[in-house]
Amino acid sequence: MSDRPTELKYSTTHEWVRIEGDEATVGITDFAVEHLGDLVFVDLPDVGASIDVDETGAEVESVKAVGEVHSPVGGEVTAVNEGLADDQGPLASDPFGEGWLYKLKVSDVSDALMDLDAYETQLESESV
């Protein structure tokens, strides 16, 4: 039913994180992208910046509103998906792959993350 990857961890606020060793990649789910509507800009953190768990790691601008990305992991930013500032297409077409937002060297992980089953159970209760 869904193409959401099973190996990721998900947050209640629709972020995903892929943790590989001490590196983590952060993005937002297809549900978050769909909810924001027409996207126009992505404000990414600076490489080298330090982000805490639940701090705003990035902001995604849509025509309707701005979506704050609550970082599911904390650490030092090692890379950002710079192309998204000019072209937000990958966020809609491939939110779990080409649409990643930033990577960081993990120093802390939120203790409220869910696996895919739990996340999809939450989505069922949220969707109208």
Partner 1 sequence: MRATPLKDRHAAAKARFVDFFGWEMPVQYAGILAETSCVRGHVGLFDLCHMGRLVLTGPDREALVDRVFSGRFQTLKHGRAKYGFLLNEDGYPIDDVLVYRDTEAVHIVINATGRGKDPDWVNAQKGDLDATVTDVSDDQAMIALQGPGSEHVLQALCGADLSQVRYYGFTTAPVCGHETLLARTGYTGEDGFELFFDKAHAVEVWDALLDSGRSLEIQPIGLGARDILRLEAGMPLYGQEINPEIDPVEADLSFGVDFTKDHTVGVPALRARKEAGPKRVAVSLAAQGGRVARAGCPIVTESGEASGVVTSGGVSPTLGKNIARALVRAEDRDAGTLYAEIRGKQHPMEIVPSPFYKRPR
User: Which residues of this chain interact with partner 1, rule CB under 8 A?
Assistant: 37-38, 40-41, 43, 56, 59, 61, 63-64, 66, 85
CA quadruple 87, 12, 69, 5: dihedral sign: negative
CB of 115 to partner 1, least distance (A): 29
Q: Return the number of the residue (40 or 112) whose C-beta is nearest partner 1.
A: 40
Q: Return the number of the residue (85 or 112) whose C-beta is nearest partner 1.
A: 85
CB of 38 to partner 1, least distance (A): 5
Structure tokens given for 99? 């649409």
Q: Return the number of the residue (44 or 113) whose C-beta is nearest partner 1.
A: 44
Return the amino acid letter for 101. Answer: L
Q: How far is CA 28 from CA 9, 10, 53, 68, 107, in A?
A: 11, 9, 15, 10, 20
CB of 41 to partner 1, least distance (A): 6
Q: Return the number of the residue (38 or 108) whose C-beta is nearest partner 1.
A: 38
CB of 45 to partner 1, least distance (A): 10
